[in-house]
Amino acid sequence: MWKDYLISISKECQFKAPATEADISLIKRELDIDLPKKLADLCKETNGVFGNYGISFIWSTEQMVKENLFLGDIHKQIDSMRSLDTFLFFSDAGNGDLFGYSIENGSIQNDDIYVWNHEDDSRCVIASSLEEFIKGWILGEISI
C-alpha cells in the first residue's frame, strides 16, 4: 500500500528493505513510544524512503532512534530551548528543521504532523496526516 502510494506521487522514491519487528521494537525500547499505526505500516514495507541524491523523505527506524535520543537532551545545552522529547521525529527538511508527531501523556494522540523550526524553536502543525505530509513534502507543496 505505502510503496504504491509513494510511487504514485513520485517515481524517484527509493526504498530500503522492510523494517523487522526487532527494528520497530527498538523504537519502543529506546524511546518508550509506540509508532503510530500508519508510520509502523510504512516501516514494515520499507525501512526508510529516499529520493534522488539520497535525500531522506522518511528516516529508517535506526535513524529515528538515533536522532530522537540526541534531540531529547539538546535543550539542556540551550537555555532558551524548550524540550523536544514531546515529539517523535521521523524526517528532516535538510536545513535543521524536523518533522514529527506530538507526544502527549506518553503516546501519540493524533495524526497531525508538526514541523520544529531549529532557528526559533517554534512548533506548528504542517499536515493533518502522514499521507498529506509525504505528498506535500515530496511534491514541494509544503514549504517551511
DSSP per residue over 62-121, as a string?
Answer: HHHHHHHHHHHHHTTT-TTPPPSTTEEEEEE-SSS-EEEEEEETTEE-S--EEEE-TTT-
Check which CATH number belongs to the domain holding 27 and give it. Answer: 3.40.1580.10
* Within a domain: 144: no
> Three cell numbers at 21?
519487528
Number of domains observed in the structure of the chain: 1
Determine the structural domain holding residue 47 and report its residue range. Answer: 2-139
CB 61 within 8 A of CB 44: no
Q: Under 8 Å CB-to-CB from 44, ≥6 apart: which residues? A: 18, 19, 24
Residue owning grid cell 504504491: 4
Checking if the pLDDT of 83 tops 80, the result is no
Q: Can you tell me the mean pLDDT for 69-92?
A: 79
Q: Can you give the pLDDT at residue 57?
A: 95
Bigger pLDDT: 108 vs 81: 108
* Within a domain: 41: yes
* Within a domain: 86: yes
Q: Can you give the pLDDT at residue 77?
A: 61
Mean pLDDT score of the chain: 92
